[in-house]
Amino acid sequence: MRLLSCYSAVLLGLLTGCGLRAHPPRPASLAFNDEVRKVLGTEQPSPRFYRERERLERMGVELDAVLVTLAEDEDGDLAVRRNALALLGERGYPIALGVIRRVLLRDPDERVRAAAVTALHGPGVAGSEARNAIRAAVGDPSRQVRLVVLQALDTEDVGLMRSLLAWETDPQVSAIARELVGLAETRGGPLAARRDGGYEGMSRAGEPRLVFHAAVRDSVADVASGALLIETSGSKFVPLAQNVEVVAGVLPAFLATDRPIAVWEAGRVIHVLDLKTGESRSLGPGVAPRLLPFTERAVWVREVPGKRRAVNGGTEIVYEVWSAPLTEGEPSRLGELRATTNPERHGNASPVRWMVIGETPEGFVLRGPGIATPFALPNPFAGSHPGRSGAPRRLKPTGDDL
């Protein structure tokens, strides 16, 4: 998940105040400015720190004006500035987004710009403008900032990750970008196009990857049908299925990140193959399989018969969401989602064909254009979740890496 430094996370919990404000805060006294600066610059929380927290919160809207001043002070203490940015992103002061964006664009200190990227994820500023500001920072000259931007991108940004890979020269940034592209593909991100009209997945050196050869292609609708294979070491190929439908570059298949297991859809049925043992099994009817992040579980959808209906020139389709372990265990039903087709969108294909598993502050969801309401998936970090297998692999940079 997206991570703040430990200290910033503590401060977010300690100094979170009111929600969105429609009026500017009252000017703060110099003494209050000094107190806020002192608290934000504290290296280790203490009992006194917690007592000061309560007093600051009672000051209410005055705190936001101080945070703006501290965040934009290029001569200020680094810890103070970083924590002021984090709190601005959390609290929802109306001008906070503009302040954070200015810092990201203009500040000479790469460490402060990196903190601004993280602050743009705060619930007080989250939205399309914040997302676009993060995406624009992918070209920042600082390696440190680019690492934090990669941490902040989501499944829908897989194309931007590939663009970064095309010109990135730093080995660590490239390695993390490749890792995240591979993860995005397991969550419904489109694969890279091949010159022959097919697609190929991302993989580590020497590890297997998915390859799709198109037999029939509609370039206008961006829909193709053809053969799905796994390319193993030595350029050997393992065929999985024929007549596989691919929409918008999204394969109805994935390779597990921690096990040599392939999951794919063929003939509206979900299949699983253990590449090491050669054992295969069926998970039953369904389409559009995805890997539930940080677990060894597949997620897919199954249309509910008899519930299609015409709406606004398209067709609403009701699906059940199903999940199952990649190794042993029976599938379980998680709930329902609704998707609406559009004749002008990918040849009237169902939106579940290009839906992704995306991240929200509350957890992972199935979402995408044409999905009526994002579908909340089981929390992979909950102790009772049957698919959790220890701590997740650490794939994204944290404050400690920077």
Residue by residue, DSSP assigns 292-349 as PTTSSEEEEEEE-TT--EEETTEEEEEEEEEEEESSSS--EEEEEEEEE--TTSGGG-
CA 271 → CA 168, 252, 267, 299, 399, distances in Å? 37, 11, 10, 12, 40
Mean pLDDT of the chain: 85
Residue range 152-172: mean pLDDT, rounded: 94
Cβ atoms < 10 Å from Cβ of 274: 16
Q: What DSSP line would sit under 270-296, residue for residue?
A: EEEEETTT--EEEEEE-EEEEEPTTSS
pLDDT score at 377: 97
96-109: b (≥16 Cβ within 10 Å) or e? bbebbbebbeebee
In this structure, of 48-52, 87-91, 164-168, 393-397, the range with the lowest mean pLDDT score is 393-397
pLDDT score at 361: 80
pLDDT score at 397: 37
pLDDT score at 382: 76
Higher pLDDT: 394 or 170? It is: 170
Higher pLDDT: 55 or 257? It is: 257
pLDDT tens digits, one per residue of 320-366: 999 999 998 999 999 999 999 999 999 999 999 999 999 988 899 99
Q: Is the pLDDT of residue 254 over 50?
A: yes
pLDDT score at 53: 59
CA 184 → CA 219, 305, 382, distances in Å? 23, 30, 22
Long-range Cβ contact pairs of 176-183 (< 8 A, separation 24 or more) = 176/147, 176/150, 176/395, 176/396, 176/397, 177/150, 178/202, 178/204, 179/204, 179/395, 180/150, 180/153, 180/395, 180/396, 182/257, 183/257, 183/293, 183/395
Q: What angle do CA 275, 281, 283 make, to 5 degrees?
A: 125
pLDDT score at 394: 32
pLDDT score at 313: 85
- Taking every pair of Cα atoms in the chain, the longest distance, rounded to a whole number of angstroms, is 72
Gap between the Cα atoms of 306 and 144, Å rounded = 53
Are the C-beta atoms of 81 and 87 separated by less than 8 Å? no
pLDDT score at 95: 93
Q: Is the pLDDT of residue 161 over 60?
A: yes
Q: Is the pLDDT of residue 172 over 50?
A: yes
How many Cα atoms within 13 Å fall on the side-chain side of residue 1?
A: 14
Instruction: With H, G, I as helix, E, B as strand and everything else as coil, classify residue 213.
Output: strand
Instruction: With H, G, I as helix, E, B as strand and everything else as coil, classify residue 74.
Output: coil
Residue 39 banded pLDDT, cuts 50, 70, 90 = confident
Higher pLDDT: 16 or 293? It is: 293
Gap between the Cα atoms of 350 and 304, Å rounded = 14
44-53: b (≥16 Cβ within 10 Å) or e? eeeeeeeebb
Are the C-beta atoms of 198 and 178 separated by less than 8 Å? no
Gap between the Cα atoms of 294 and 307, Å rounded = 33
Q: What are phi and psi of 235, to 5 degrees?
A: 60, 35
Gap between the Cα atoms of 29 and 378, Å rounded = 47
pLDDT tens digits, one per residue of 363-383: 999 999 999 999 999 998 875
Gap between the Cα atoms of 186 and 181, Å rounded = 9
DSSP 388: -
Higher pLDDT: 241 or 46? It is: 241
Here the tokens at position 358 are 């995306």
Q: What angle do CA 16, 21, 25 make, to 5 degrees?
A: 85
pLDDT score at 261: 94
Residue 34 banded pLDDT, cuts 50, 70, 90 = confident
Gap between the Cα atoms of 245 and 249, Å rounded = 10
Residue type, 145: V
Q: Is the pLDDT of residue 69 over 50?
A: yes
β-bridge partners, 231: 209, 237
**Polymer length in residues for the chain:** 402
pLDDT tens digits, one per residue of 266-302: 999 999 999 999 999 999 999 999 999 999 999 999 9
**Residues contacting residue 232 through CB under 8 Å, at least 6 positions apart:** 208, 238, 275
